[in-house]
Amino acid sequence: SIAIAEQLTAHEFYLFEKVRHSEFLSQNWAKNISKAPNLVHSIDYFNRATYWIASEVLSHHDVNERAKV
């Protein structure tokens, strides 16, 4: 699980590193996706990864199994 966490973190950093400062201005990501493509992609990746992680943890009914995930 540490290796997975490291890979997820490395990929998220790679995506975030591509975000330009201007993409944060005036909430461009919410108004016009084309003005903030890297930020939108980073946000989308984060949301998909978070959903996947939560789904994996909650797919185990036993609390002890959840803790292992």
**How far apart are the C-alpha atoms of 14 and 8, rounded to whole Å?**
10
**How far apart are the C-alpha atoms of 68 and 63, rounded to whole Å?**
9
Reported as a single tens digit per residue, the pLDDT across 35-54 is 999 999 999 999 999 999 99
Angle between helices 2-17 and 37-58 (to 10 degrees): 160
> What is the arithmetic mean of pLDDT over 54-64?
88
**How far apart are the C-alpha atoms of 31 and 40, rounded to whole Å?**
11
With CA atoms as reference, report the closest residue to 34 among 20, 23, 19: 23
**What per-residue confidence (pLDDT) applies to 33?**
87
